[in-house]
Amino acid sequence: MRKVIYHPKYKEYDLGPQHPFSPVRVKMVLELLDSLGIPFNPVQPELISADRLKEIHEPDYVDIVEAVSNGEAAKDIGQYGLGTGDNPVVRGMAEGARWQCAGSLLGAQLLINGQAESVLQMGGGFHHARRGLAAGFCLYNDLALAVKTMTDHGWHVAYLDLDVHHGDGVQEIYYTSDKVMTISLHESGEYIFPGTGWLHELGQGMGRSLKLNLPLEPYTEGDSYLESLRKITEPALAWFRPNALVVQAGADAHFSDPLADIMLTTQNYQKIFSYIFSLVEKYCYNRVLITLGGGYSFFATARIWTLLYLMQQRYEIPAELPGSWLNRWRKIIGTDAGNNFHDREKAYRKIPRKGDIERVNQAMAIRLLDAVAGDWL
Amino acid sequence: MLIREVMHPDPITIAPDVSLSKAYSLMNRENIRHLPVLESGKLVGIVTDRDLRLATSKLAEHPFDPQVEIREVMSHPVRTTHSNDPVEMATQIMRELKIGCLPVVDETVLVGIVTNADLLDAMLRLTGVHLPSGRLDIGMPDRPGELARLTKIIADRNINIHSILTYSEAGKRMRMVLRVNTMEIHALAKDICEAGFEILWPPHIICVK
Ligand SMILES: [Zn+2]
């Protein structure tokens, strides 16, 4: 059974008209599906209480987030990462975040109850939220909550983070856990946020060699990305054999994304998604929960997540975008998008350091496998 | 940053009449490399795992018996630091004397110990690397007001600064390593660049002037 989760209240997680993490992105996806005549029949979650979040976050952090979200004055919010350009204080943001967490939680429950094997949650993916710190547009870590629901059920869970930024929040929360493997492929933190996700971050104590990070060179292209993904995920999942896979499917590794420098095309994303579905079948008892995440080039993000929906629900990928949808969004966003569903051929300029980049990435994957080899017996 | 913020308080110590062999097993058990030697509450020496191994090595001309007392091989007098000293001063002393730790003595009382590992930790804290952040390497003219101009750009974007490290590049210009709490490092770099500062890393942020 393949299910989709969504609630219109997700839109309430809105950090302002200028903020990159915009509900417009999912709106574009839903309208595109509608224009394509593709059905969208999601299961709706029920709102969860703030106390539920205290299972993974520090209680005082949750209290502060809820208080400022209700318009109450609180001091020292800076130490909780709040009140910054990335994480501004906005009325109602906590409830919006809880709606999205509820969706990821429901996804985990559907898998546990056997009501679904494959769940696509059309929201969530707040991988930067730490135990006691808002960061990188994220307040509450829905992924960690979903994972906890599964581990409480006795499952081993693998978490795969495709977002272009390191999945530091999920990694932090499960750094010492032997029940959770985290794998993050991301642009190396030499200058982009959050600056972590280095190869030597392998987990601690019982969690040792279960936290895998593959920092990729800026300007890494699709082939090298896919090669790296294959080199790491297949042996990792074949060894760990999780009861389920949780995937954060951020779309900000697209070449047009303004926040980062990885050069994936929509065609690459299609290959990545189908590869992940094959891994799920082979090594993860056919259970997967996929969330959204980052993605700040609106046209690209909308197409990538629509692609994900179509693949998960096993619909055909259309060749062209509906004109009505294109015209409407071109007017709103201003930037141009091609008429085709996929990116055009040779969509970006040639990358001068291509060969070097590929070699660095290959060496990195080998070093990572060498680093864990002693523990993966 | 002061020594008392980075030191280990209440260090494990040893008396001068304890045998080398016992001192060695104490180090192994506690997983430490340095033992201050205390006699009637006063610091009289320090002994390291290296001192013990060198003193008892078969390769030594006259190896010590493992049963001799610590006082025979300990170093003294001991160079110390004060808990209110700045960390950079302790670092300078350790580099100058090529030693790996400094006992922290306030007046006559041993209150802590600081090792080179603690100073590396201090450096990590100074860089702000433990907080989620983006990072830029910036070059600027070495004159008053430049830093203020730069931080205003950051403040105008409502971005929190996790750390600023500056150093002079051989009289040429000031270099700065900046860690800031923002996902939008490219946009910030462009603003900084347009204000006339040099972005030295990442190298590909193209300045639009
Ligand atoms: Zn991201």
Q: Provide the pLDDT confidence category of residue B172 given band limits of 50, 70 and 90.
A: confident
**Domain end (from B104, B124, B144):** B124
Task: Quote the CA–CA distance of A46 and A27 in Å, as a whole number.
Answer: 20
Same domain? B28 vs B82: yes
Specify the pairing of strand A288-291 against strand A244-248.
parallel
In this prediction the ipTM stands at 0.88
Task: Quote the CA–CA distance of A165 and A237 in Å, as a whole number.
Answer: 21
Same domain? B96 vs B40: yes
* Nearest by CB: B185 against A135, A191, A196: A191
Ion ligand 1 — residues with CB under 5 Å? Answer: A 163, 165, 250, 252, 294
Q: What is the pLDDT of residues A105-149, one digit of tens each?
A: 999 999 999 999 999 999 999 999 999 999 999 999 999 999 999
**Bridge partners (DSSP) listed for residue B180:** B134, B161
Nearest alpha carbon to residue A174 among A262, A240, A261: A240
The CATH code of the domain that includes A305 is: 3.40.800.20
Task: Quote the CA–CA distance of A220 and A254 in Å, as a whole number.
Answer: 11
Same domain? B133 vs B81: no
**Which residues, 6+ apart, have CB-to-CB distance to A10 below 8 Å?**
A23, A26, A96, A99, A100, A103, A122, A123
Q: Provide the pLDDT confidence category of residue A189 given band limits of 50, 70 and 90.
A: confident
Asked whether residue B207 is assigned to any structural domain, the reply reads: no
Question: Phi, psi at residue B104, to the nearest 5°?
Answer: -105, 115
Contact B158 A192 (CB under 8 A): no
Q: ω into residue B202 within 30 of 0, thus cis? A: yes
Task: Quote the CA–CA distance of A29 and B105 in Å, as a whole number.
Answer: 66
Same domain? B188 vs B93: no
Whether residue A44 is predicted with pLDDT greater than 50 in this model: the reply is yes
User: At which residue do the structure tokens 């009861």 appear?
Assistant: A243
**Residues of A with CB below 8 A from B160's CB?**
78, 84
Nearest alpha carbon to residue A301 among A331, A260, A360: A260
Q: Could you tell me if A310 and A38 are in contact, meaning their C-beta atoms sit under 8 angstroms apart?
A: yes
**Domain end (from B91, B124, B157):** B124
Contact B182 A194 (CB under 8 A): no
**Which residues, 6+ apart, have CB-to-CB distance to B195 below 8 Å?**
B149, B150, B153
**Residues of B with CB below 8 A from A172's CB?**
none
DSSP string, A309-338: HHHHTTPPPPSB--HHHHHHHHHHH-S---
Task: Quote the CA–CA distance of A29 and A22 in Å, as a whole number.
Answer: 12
Q: What share of chain B is helix, strand, coil (3-state, %, to 5)?
A: 35, 30, 35
Q: Provide the pLDDT confidence category of residue A22 given band limits of 50, 70 and 90.
A: very high
The CATH code of the domain that includes B178 is: 3.30.70.260
**Residues of A with CB below 8 A from B192's CB?**
none
Whether residue A194 is predicted with pLDDT greater than 80 in this model: the reply is yes
Alpha carbon of A119 to ligand 1 centroid (Å): 21
Whether residue A175 is predicted with pLDDT greater than 70 in this model: the reply is yes
Q: Show the domain range for B64.
A: 3-124
Same domain? B69 vs B101: yes
C-alpha angle A234/A240/A245, rounded to 5°? 75
Residue B187 in contact with partner chain A when CB distance is under 8 A: yes
Same domain? B112 vs B150: no
pLDDT score recorded for residue B209: 43
Q: What is the pLDDT of residues A56-86, one digit of tens each?
A: 999 999 999 999 999 999 888 999 999 999 9
Cα of first residue to Cα of last residue in chain B, in angstroms, is 39
Q: What is the pLDDT of residues B36-46, one digit of tens each?
A: 999 999 999 99
* Nearest by CB: B132 against A194, A258, A261: A194
Q: Could you tell me if B2 and B84 are in contact, meaning their C-beta atoms sit under 8 angstroms apart?
A: yes
Same domain? B108 vs B193: no
Alpha carbon of A358 to ligand 1 centroid (Å): 22
**Residues of B with CB below 8 A from A89's CB?**
none
Å between A318 CA and nearest CA of chain B: 33
Residue B162 in contact with partner chain A when CB distance is under 8 A: no
Contact A190 B133 (CB under 8 A): no
E strand or H helix that includes residue B38: strand B34-39
Residue A79 in contact with partner chain B when CB distance is under 8 A: no
Task: Quote the CA–CA distance of A114 and A117 in Å, as a whole number.
Answer: 7
Same domain? B10 vs B103: yes
Residue B156 in contact with partner chain A when CB distance is under 8 A: no
**What 8-state DSSP symbol labels residue B67?**
T
Same domain? B120 vs B135: no
User: At which residue do the structure tokens 């294109």 appear?
Assistant: A326
Site from B183, B200, B204 to mutate, A interface, most A CB atoms within 10 angstroms: B183
Q: Provide the pLDDT confidence category of residue A305 given band limits of 50, 70 and 90.
A: very high
pLDDT score recorded for residue A338: 87
Task: Quote the CA–CA distance of A130 and A172 in Å, as a whole number.
Answer: 7
pLDDT score recorded for residue B207: 64
Burial class (CB in 10 A: 0-12, 13-18, 19+), A349: exposed
Contact A84 B159 (CB under 8 A): yes
pLDDT score recorded for residue B206: 61
Whether residue B208 is predicted with pLDDT greater than 60 in this model: the reply is no
Alpha carbon of A163 to ligand 1 centroid (Å): 5
Whether residue B154 is predicted with pLDDT greater than 60 in this model: the reply is yes
Residue A349 in contact with partner chain B when CB distance is under 8 A: no
Question: Considering only alpha carbons, which residue of chain B is nearest residue A351?
Answer: B204
Contact A85 B204 (CB under 8 A): no
**Bridge partners (DSSP) listed for residue B177:** B137, B165
Alpha carbon of A162 to ligand 1 centroid (Å): 9
**What 8-state DSSP symbol labels residue A77?**
G
**What 8-state DSSP symbol labels residue B34?**
E
Q: Could you tell me if A217 and A357 are in contact, meaning their C-beta atoms sit under 8 angstroms apart?
A: yes
Residue A194 in contact with partner chain B when CB distance is under 8 A: yes
Contact A20 B184 (CB under 8 A): yes
- Looking at the structure of chain A, the number of domains it has is 1
Nearest alpha carbon to residue A159 among B51, A294, A167, B175: A167
How many A×B Cβ pairs under 8 Å?
A: 69
**Which residues, 6+ apart, have CB-to-CB distance to B5 below 8 Å?**
B87, B122
Same domain? B113 vs B31: yes
Contact B132 A196 (CB under 8 A): yes
Same domain? B86 vs B147: no
Q: What is the pLDDT of residues A307-364, one digit of tens each?
A: 999 999 999 999 999 999 999 999 999 877 789 999 999 899 999 999 999 999 999 9
Same domain? B61 vs B98: yes
* Nearest by CB: B136 against A168, A189, A191: A191
Q: Which of A:316-345 have CB within 8 Å of B?
A: none
Question: Considering only alpha carbons, which residue of chain B is nearest residue A188?
Answer: B134
Q: Could you tell me if A246 and A159 are in contact, meaning their C-beta atoms sit under 8 angstroms apart?
A: yes
Residue B125 in contact with partner chain A when CB distance is under 8 A: no
**What 8-state DSSP symbol labels residue A246?**
E
Global pTM value: 0.92
The alpha-carbon radius of gyration of chain B (Å, integer) is 24
Question: Considering only alpha carbons, which residue of chain B is nearest residue A89?
Answer: B158
The CATH code of the domain that includes B56 is: 3.10.580.10
pLDDT score recorded for residue A335: 77
Q: What is the pLDDT of residues A247-284, one digit of tens each?
A: 999 999 999 999 999 999 999 999 999 999 999 999 99
DSSP string, A264-312: B-HHHHHHHHHHHHHHHHHHSTT-EEEE-----SHHHHHHHHHHHHHHH
- Looking at the structure of chain B, the number of domains it has is 2
Å between A17 CA and nearest CA of chain B: 15
Å between B205 CA and nearest CA of chain A: 11
Whether residue B78 is predicted with pLDDT greater than 60 in this model: the reply is yes
**Domain end (from B97, B124, B151):** B124
Distance of CA B69 to the CA centre of its chain: 32
What would the two tokens of residue B69 be?
Answer: 């007392």
Q: Show the domain range for A172.
A: 2-376
C-alpha angle A32/A259/A271, rounded to 5°? 55
Q: What is the mean pLDDT of residues B158-173?
A: 90
Contact B181 A86 (CB under 8 A): yes
Q: ω into residue B203 within 30 of 0, thus cis? A: no
**Residue A175 neighbours by CB distance under 10 Å:** 18
